[in-house]
Structure 1
């Protein structure tokens, strides 16, 4: 009994050591990390590399706050933590400094500044009576020609969610993702007359992903082996807010150059033409962008030629059906972006081991429906009828199928599909037996080549 106890203790200790080693190999944190400087986003570098103005613009920011009132989603009770960081004014001021276009002045906590200046005056009056009266007075505060207003106006949770997983014989793995989205509005206001000079808005998605694997198996009737591993990664909301604000600042600068609201700070607009052209290109691309950062377009022409390699298996009245390889060639004509007529010819081999083997030439006619015709990646469904020709009289059938298509290059798409064939009669192999008609299942992988007009 004591030996059994020692064995269990030894096994558990060894398992813990192995898990600790695996955590290091997988890059999982096992020790505290030192504090570091904050990360830079893509737009931090772009702001710092902007062409400089002739002279900087004095600008004030009173409040640039979270206007959503959104709390963090919680699965266990109430969570009173806000979903959006509350220091967005500070983030905006940092972005203005990084751009080197502006001189930000303190306005968020101006009461503290005025109080401190009052303390300086009182101290001088009280303890500096013998100082030369011609000494320099406290200099005046800077005032801004432009104020920046706006804030975080939207935090949308779970705009896209999904996952993928599989489990077989106690071994399984899965992955999940979730996307949130944050939206920023920023406007420039003239302090001369209160006119709103320009308004821009930007958005940024926030991605959370997880990958999990598990093993669950009975070794025998009394012993169970179970193991799990998983990694979850959440994009920091603060970095997402920072990136959206930096993008808004860059957009405001470029819009101001185009509309000439920066006055003498931009003496020669030609110096900034490259930045303006890049911004205009992004505006054109952004015109068709939809939720999920997807860009629908016209990727498919009105004709297509395609070829498939198929794995085929019969389900007839004999036993031991075998899998065979066949092929399919055909063309499609699109009557609408979603609907097309398909005509194809394929080679189909029906085989039952050591019983019968017959090869058919099969022309087919189908009507196909593409679910998302304006996207590169789309599922599709089709159905139709066909005839099976061999040395004996023709056989007739119907078919339905579906699959996935991805347009990976100009006018070229890869397809993966499955098709179910059902005979009109139970005589493909020459034997009529039972009520069930002969059937077949096919799996295909192929290419579509689009030609013609879009």
Structure 2
């Protein structure tokens, strides 16, 4: 009973532990103003090699194009879901990179008005005889314009939770994930050509964890204990990280396309581009909900596995025996594969029955998520069993052969494009009641196989 209670509490408690950074740093007092938080993306941006020559860039408006308002449970909200200061965040990311000289374009009217005031004032001083006054130098023009914006904000792309309660003791956790998308492009001011366009997305996580105790500890004595927290990832920090990642991508892809160069040797630039392309390939192979994809070209696979066999025959007592399997499979299409298995296993039941057996199976397998790193599958097919009885039987030959049919399901985990591990559970329906050398009743014998294994693709 104590073990069951512990299991019910351990599940929500595990979420509490993983988020203990928020739980153990609860605000009990006012905090003074501080400089903004940094991220690993910002550090990567600052660690880029310096440019051969800074790029003069102008940003007129990097705006929110989503039209989204905050998602509230009750009523409506006129607050936007995304911060409206995208241009300011982008300008800061460009400055942190060290690759750009930024010219003011968002409030160009204010700048021009102020320059007109200065020129007018200096002209008045010159007319009054002050020969030291000179006209303002011309404005710096941009070599490229940075355009784009926040193109989407998707709320509740995935929600869920878990909880348990046992005799007044329980806990629960809930989560929700939103997602924003940023596009950034560089446009040449010479001919208007779009030089590069990059696309970055960022998820925003919200969590709620609670644990409580409601218990009568004595007559008319009720104990209530409750704790928990809610953690919401700030949208501004998520937007900042997405824009910084977009700037980093734009710089590196520009180096790869020979649009600009760094001060370092070409080998350093090539190494930077290679690392970026490798990471980009990995990220592009990952779908929504972090579903990592494998673009496998191999059509064949061999595998080996071991596990247990459980026979359901005419004996009441059930025991587990060993099971080994060697398999070969050939891909027929993206979903279906043909598979042949050789199994060696032990049939054990009752107090005295033990029999070694082998089977040969031919299956049609359906891979439900063929390109995913974690892929479930189901299979079905005919087979035959051969047994070798360890004690004399007047009713059976020494090596009887029986026909059967098997079906099962499994879960495959791809370690790489060449290797994977898997687990399976299989139900074998034999067309005989003599697997345990005992024929009673009308039902045929059947058995289950459970196993874990390793496979190789070639």
Give the alignment's TM-score, normalised by structure 2: 0.76
Task: Judge conservation of contact 1:214–1:226 (CA < 8 Å) in 2.
Answer: no
1:181, 1:357 → 2: CA distance? 58
1:357, 1:255 → 2: CA distance? 67
The aligned length equals 425
Gap change, CA 1:317 and 1:131, over 3 Å in 2: farther
Task: Judge conservation of contact 1:348–1:362 (CA < 8 Å) in 2.
Answer: no
Task: Judge conservation of contact 1:200–1:251 (CA < 8 Å) in 2.
Answer: no
- Structure 2 residue 419 is the aligned partner of structure 1 residue 419: no
The match for 1:403 among 403, 410, 416 is 410
**44-53 or 431-440, which deviates more:** 431-440
SS class of match (2:153): strand
Deviation at 1:69? 0.7
Kindly report which structure 2 residues correspond to 1:19-34, keeping only aligned pairs within 5 A, or say none.
Answer: 27=24, 29-32=26-29, 33-34=31-32
Kindly report which structure 2 residues correspond to 1:345-424, keeping only aligned pairs within 5 A, or say none.
Answer: 345-352=343-350, 354=351, 356-388=353-385, 389-391=387-389, 392=396, 393-409=400-416, 411-424=418-431
Other-structure match for 2:201: 204
1:116, 1:281 → 2: CA distance? 48
The match for 1:449 among 435, 442, 456 is 456
Task: Judge conservation of contact 2:208–2:229 (CA < 8 Å) in 1.
Answer: yes
Gap change, CA 1:173 and 1:311, over 3 Å in 2: farther
2:172, 2:246 → 1: CA distance? 37
Deviation at 1:355? 7.0
Deviation at 1:378? 0.8
The match for 1:241 among 233, 239, 247 is 239
2:378, 2:279 → 1: CA distance? 35
Task: Judge conservation of contact 2:305–2:454 (CA < 8 Å) in 1.
Answer: yes
Deviation at 1:173? 7.0
- Structure 2 residue 165 is the aligned partner of structure 1 residue 184: no
Gap change, CA 1:348 and 1:220, over 3 Å in 2: farther
SS class of match (1:390): strand
Gap change, CA 1:135 and 1:440, over 3 Å in 2: same
Other-structure match for 2:327: 331
Other-structure match for 2:248: 250
- Structure 2 residue 310 is the aligned partner of structure 1 residue 313: yes
2:108, 2:89 → 1: CA distance? 17
Gap change, CA 1:220 and 1:45, over 3 Å in 2: closer
Deviation at 1:334? 0.9
Task: Judge conservation of contact 2:95–2:101 (CA < 8 Å) in 1.
Answer: yes
The match for 1:59 among 51, 57, 60 is 57
Gap change, CA 1:383 and 1:73, over 3 Å in 2: same
Gap change, CA 1:207 and 1:381, over 3 Å in 2: farther
In structure 1, stretches of 5+ residues that fail to align are 1-18
Deviation at 1:201? 2.0
2:277, 2:195 → 1: CA distance? 16
Task: Judge conservation of contact 2:410–2:424 (CA < 8 Å) in 1.
Answer: yes
**335-344 or 30-39, which deviates more:** 30-39
Task: Judge conservation of contact 2:57–2:101 (CA < 8 Å) in 1.
Answer: yes
**358-367 or 64-73, which deviates more:** 358-367
Other-structure match for 1:4: none
SS class of match (2:152): strand
SS class of match (2:415): strand
The match for 1:98 among 86, 96, 108 is 96
CA root-mean-square deviation:
4.1
Other-structure match for 1:440: 447
Other-structure match for 1:155: 153
SS class of match (1:347): strand
Task: Judge conservation of contact 1:210–1:230 (CA < 8 Å) in 2.
Answer: no
Other-structure match for 1:80: 78
1:347, 1:184 → 2: CA distance? 56
In structure 2, stretches of 5+ residues that fail to align are 1-15, 390-395
Deviation at 1:45? 2.3
